[in-house]
């Protein structure tokens, strides 16, 4: 697996100073967590789940979640389990999967018992899984968090390799101020006891908003919803520390994917879309993806990485903005090169870099550069978006042409 593998060699050379490196699923936690990128959720009720996942991989998706929880109505849970087990087995036998996993696949279950049941029934399909997403982790009335992580350990033993857990913080205990601190400290204790199986901590902004009867509208970011932003800040404070005790924390879901009436003018700058990319900018605005771009910038400023998404159109945006800019790469490289501390002007002569205070930031930037690459000096996220869009259109055109050829051959034979 590798981010931007859909681009051809000419595009890759033109866009990247340092190209993305292949993602090794046996890599350490921090490398694997940053490589998740846009994690796409799919309900496990999809009858052609295996084929859908392969199509997503061809479109650039590197991490996906097959969901048995909130996206599945209660009366369809048994059906969803049957579909999931069947599709995992089929997926494991496809040439694309046997040649090497094209994406990292996780399953979101409702209970630890359901998790182990899926593992027992998966058979060869277990080879397709990298782990499990644990919903409403540590919430009152929910399964014991230790039980969840012990279930993942048991699953790992049955698989004969490490399977990861990604707990989701979305309960009202975390949302409400009077219980938040105790809940987060208790969750930290549980995670610390099982650190070796925790890949990343995910954040559930939809459920956190629901605790207050809120839903962020189009044009607003999760950081504009103050009560939810406060929760995210406390999660980062307790679980995202850069002193070696923290965990990778992923950014919450972007849940919009179609245009509606706009209340505010876009804040999406036109300058990155110069040189014929104006149409792409207009399309982003029409699809409300300019709000996603803004939220992604604020996610990263606040220490979150990756993104939960619910539509394939979101993936290219998340990945384009995850590529390390030439300026950030220069700053990060200069910082880590200084062993004795001190301060220096940046290579771009527009800021001061301090070797001590900026080191943790620099190390995270260079870790992201391994997974997503470093853009050339004159390349913006708009260029990366355009290249991904061009590659997808070319793939679709080729696929359509191949289908037409098969249909024509069939007509001739008939």
User: Closest Cα partner for 176 from 210, 222, 219, 218?
Assistant: 210
Q: How confident is the model at residue 412 (pLDDT cuts 50, 70, 90)?
A: very low
Strands 374-375 vs 129-134: parallel, antiparallel or unpaired:
unpaired
CA pair distance 26, 115, nearest whole angstrom: 22
Which one has a higher pLDDT value, 206 or 403? 206
Within 10 Å of residue 276's Cβ, how many Cβ atoms?
A: 8
Average pLDDT of the residues in 5-9: 94
Strands (DSSP E) found in 156-273? 164-169, 202-203
Looking at the predicted structure, is the pLDDT value of residue 409 above 60? no
CA pair distance 69, 66, nearest whole angstrom: 9
Q: Which of 210-214, 268-272, 327-331 has the lowest mean pLDDT?
A: 268-272
CA pair distance 313, 164, nearest whole angstrom: 27
- The 10s digit of each residue's pLDDT in 292-343 is 889 999 999 999 999 999 999 899 999 999 999 999 999 999 999 988 778 8
Q: Is the pTM of this model over 0.85?
A: yes
CATH number of 17-323: 3.20.20.60
What's the CA dihedral at 315, 223, 360, 341 to 10 degrees?
130
- Phi, psi dihedrals of residue 348, rounded to the nearest 5°: -85, 0
CA pair distance 59, 53, nearest whole angstrom: 10
- The 10s digit of each residue's pLDDT in 177-201 is 999 999 999 999 999 999 999 999 9
Quote the DSSP letter at residue 263: S
- The 10s digit of each residue's pLDDT in 228-248 is 999 999 999 999 999 999 999
Average pLDDT, the chain: 91
Can you give the residue ranges of every domain in the chain? 17-323, 329-364
- Phi, psi dihedrals of residue 69, rounded to the nearest 5°: -105, -115
- Phi, psi dihedrals of residue 346, rounded to the nearest 5°: -70, 160
DSSP lists the bridge partners of residue 108 as: 67, 133
CA pair distance 119, 113, nearest whole angstrom: 10
């Amino acid at each position: 697996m590798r981010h931007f593998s859909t681009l051809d060699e000419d595009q890759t050379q033109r866009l990247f100073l340092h190209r993305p490196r292949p993602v090794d699923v046996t890599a350490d936690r921090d490398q694997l967590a940053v490589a998740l990128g846009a994690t796409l959720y799919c309900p496990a009720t999809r009858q052609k789940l295996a084929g859908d996942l392969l199509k997503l991989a061809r479109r650039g998706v590197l991490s996906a979640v097959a969901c048995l929880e909130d996206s599945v109505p209660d009366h369809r849970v048994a059906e969803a389990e049957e579909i999931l087990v069947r599709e995992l087995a089929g997926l494991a036998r496809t040439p694309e999967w046997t040649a090497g996993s094209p994406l990292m696949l996780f399953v979101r279950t409702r209970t630890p018992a359901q998790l182990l049941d899926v593992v027992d029934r998966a058979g060869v399909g277990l080879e397709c899984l990298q782990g499990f997403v644990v919903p409403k982790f540590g919430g009152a009335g929910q399964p014991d968090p230790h039980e969840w992580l012990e279930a993942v350990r048991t699953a790992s033993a049955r698989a004969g390799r490490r399977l990861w857990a990604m707990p989701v913080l979305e309960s009202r205990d975390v949302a409400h101020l009077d219980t938040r601190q105790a809940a987060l400290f208790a969750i930290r204790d549980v995670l610390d006891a099982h650190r070796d199986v925790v890949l990343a901590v995910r954040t559930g902004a939809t459920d956190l908003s629901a605790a207050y009867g809120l839903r962020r509208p189009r044009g607003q970011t999760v950081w504009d919803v103050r009560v939810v932003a406060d929760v995210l800040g406390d999660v980062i404070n307790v679980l995202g520390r850069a002193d070696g005790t923290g965990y990778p924390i992923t950014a919450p879901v972007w849940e919009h994917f179609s245009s509606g009436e706009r209340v505010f003018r876009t804040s999406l700058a036109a300058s990155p879309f110069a040189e014929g990319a104006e149409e792409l900018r207009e399309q982003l605005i029409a699809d409300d993806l300019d709000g996603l771009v803004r939220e992604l910038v604020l996610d990263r400023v606040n220490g979150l990485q990756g993104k939960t998404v619910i539509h394939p159109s979101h993936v290219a945006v998340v990945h384009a903005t995850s590529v390390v800019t030439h300026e950030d790469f220069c700053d990060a490289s200069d910082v880590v090169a200084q062993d004795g501390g001190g301060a220096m002007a940046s290579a771009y002569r527009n800021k001061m870099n301090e070797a001590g205070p900026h080191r943790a930031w620099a190390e995270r930037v260079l870790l992201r550069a391994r997974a997503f690459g470093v853009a050339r000096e004159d390349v913006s996220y708009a260029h990366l978006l355009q290249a991904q869009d061009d590659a997808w259109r070319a793939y679709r055109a080729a696929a359509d042409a191949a289908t037409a050829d098969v249909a024509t051959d069939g007509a001739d034979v008939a």
